[in-house]
């Protein structure tokens, strides 16, 4: 038996179901362990910030949550696009399974940002390009979920949702580059692939541990939810 | 080690409300999602 056949075999919801359960269990455990390590580094190893005092410790959830909010949208839209192109049942289910977790992380990014903005900028909210485009992302997630909930036939709901998700992708680069394109109150990226990060290495370690924890959490939550969706539809 | 004691840890250098408001809401929301997913899983598996 060649290995290439396996990929198509797992594209069927019935054969994906037990695999999703196993991956989800491993990811739940990994997320808990990494979050524990990340919080330890974040609160007990990383030093106090010279400018912001202890308020900066919000970074350990704010930045990973904001990364996940954008990344999950891209993953959701990719599944939606695959579903639209190949008409595979599992793809639409995956897109629906990711949306609530993506919306959750978008809300957390906005909420923690507001609580960070108050002590550092003096305001919970400003109509800044970064904040506004992130708020639009929340509405895209909620719109996707509301649209799918409003259509009774799951296959039609998948197609309608996919269209909305794909059109909304344009918002993700707007969020990411907003701090460069516009003169925003929100600061630019402290971490990027092209240059050294502009923060203490223990702060970066804590942030990356939390980002990994949120990654595994998202995988676990999406796979647990897709198992429920498979049972509900099939 | 950054903290002299529990009260200093909770005070977060005067930013306690903001820091714990962020962490508290995050933990509560993620916990809620996990509980809802567990309930939904139990319901679906009971039906099949």
What's the pLDDT score for residue A177? 92
Distance CA A142, CA A148 (A): 10
Asked, for residue A27, whether it belongs to a domain, the answer is yes
What's the pLDDT score for residue A126? 93
User: Cβ separation of A62 and B22 shorter than 8 Å?
Assistant: yes
Q: Would you say A63 and A195 are in contact if contact means Cβ atoms under 8 Å apart?
A: no
- Beta strands in chain A, from DSSP E residues, in sequence order: none
Asked, for residue A4, whether it belongs to a domain, the answer is no
What's the pLDDT score for residue B3? 86
Tokens representing A148 are 């799918």
Q: Would you say A70 and A137 are in contact if contact means Cβ atoms under 8 Å apart?
A: yes
Q: Mean pLDDT across the stretch A74-86?
A: 95
Please name the residue that has the structure tokens 């949550």.
A65
Nearest CA in chain B to A46: B2
**How many C-alpha atoms does A152 have within 13 Å on its Cβ side?**
0
What's the pLDDT score for residue B21? 96
Sign for the CA dihedral angle at A86, A136, A103, A23 comes to: positive
What's the pLDDT score for residue A9? 67
Neighbouring residues of A189: CB distance < 8 A, sequence distance ≥ 6: A179
Could you tell me if A7 lies within 8 Å of chain B, comparing CB atoms? no
A-B C-beta contacts closer than 8 Å: 75
Asked, for residue A7, whether it belongs to a domain, the answer is no
Q: Mean pLDDT across the stretch B2-26?
A: 92
Asked, for residue A2, whether it belongs to a domain, the answer is no
Could you tell me if A65 lies within 8 Å of chain B, comparing CB atoms? yes
By residue range, what is the domain housing residue A227? Answer: 15-233
- ∠ CA A126-B25-A188 to the nearest 5 degrees? 40
Distance CA A201, CA A206 (A): 9
pTM: 0.93
What's the pLDDT score for residue B48? 62
Looking at the 3D structure of chain A, how many domains does it have? 1
Residues of chain A with pLDDT > 70, as a percent, come to: 95
Mean pLDDT over the full length of chain B = 91
Asked, for residue A9, whether it belongs to a domain, the answer is no
* Complex-level ipTM: 0.93
- pLDDT of A5 above 70: no
Tens digits of per-residue pLDDT, A89-99?
899 999 999 99
Asked, for residue A3, whether it belongs to a domain, the answer is no
Count of beta carbons in the 10 Å neighbourhood of residue A166? 15
Smallest CA–CA distance, residue A184 to chain B, in Å, is 22
3-state secondary structure A161-182: HHHHHHHHCCHHHHHHHHHHHC
What's the pLDDT score for residue A1? 43
In chain B, the largest separation of any two C-alpha atoms, in whole Å, equals 55
Tens digits of per-residue pLDDT, A13-70?
888 899 999 999 999 999 999 999 999 999 999 999 888 889 999 999 999 999 999 9
Asked, for residue A168, whether it belongs to a domain, the answer is yes
Mean pLDDT over the full length of chain A = 92
Q: Residue A10: which of A90, A84, A98 has the closest Cα?
A: A90
DSSP state of A151: -
Tens digits of per-residue pLDDT, A106-127?
999 999 999 999 999 999 999 9
Distance CA A219, CA A94 (A): 11
- pLDDT of B37 above 60: yes
Nearest-by-Cβ selection for A48 from B13, B23, B26 = B13
Asked, for residue A126, whether it belongs to a domain, the answer is yes
End-to-end, the C-alpha distance of chain B in Å comes to: 52
| Residue A47 burial (C-beta neighbours within 10 Å; 0-12, 13-18, 19+) | exposed
């Amino acid at each position: 038996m060649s290995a290439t056949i396996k990929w198509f075999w797992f594209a069927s919801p019935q054969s994906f179901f037990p695999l999703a359960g196993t991956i989800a269990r491993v990811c739940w455990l990994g997320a808990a362990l990494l979050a524990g390590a990340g919080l330890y580094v974040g609160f007990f190893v990383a030093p106090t910030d010279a400018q912001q005092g202890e308020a900066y410790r919000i970074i350990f959830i704010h930045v990973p949550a904001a990364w996940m909010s954008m990344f999950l949208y891209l993953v959701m839209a990719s599944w939606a696009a695959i579903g639209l192109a190949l008409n595979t049942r599992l793809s639409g289910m995956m897109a629906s399974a990711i949306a609530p977790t993506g919306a959750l992380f978008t809300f957390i990014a906005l909420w923690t940002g507001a609580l960070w903005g108050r002590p550092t900028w003096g305001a919970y909210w400003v109509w800044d390009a970064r904040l506004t485009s992130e708020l639009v992302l929340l509405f895209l997630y909620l719109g996707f979920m509301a649209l799918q909930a409003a259509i009774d036939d799951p296959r039609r709901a998948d197609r309608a949702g996919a269209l909305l998700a794909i059109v909304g992708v344009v918002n993700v680069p707007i969020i990411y580059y907003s701090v460069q394109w516009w003169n925003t109150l929100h600061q630019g990226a402290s971490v990027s692939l092209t240059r050294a990060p502009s923060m203490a290495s223990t702060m970066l370690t804590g942030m990356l541990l939390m980002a990994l924890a949120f990654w595994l959490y998202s995988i676990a939550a999406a796979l647990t939810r897709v198992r429920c969706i498979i049972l509900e539809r099939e | 080690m950054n903290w002299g004691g529990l009260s200093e840890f909770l005070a977060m250098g005067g930013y306690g409300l903001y820091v714990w408001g962020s962490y508290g809401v995050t933990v509560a929301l993620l916990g809620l999602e996990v509980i809802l997913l567990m309930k939904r899983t139990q319901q679906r598996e009971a039906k099949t």
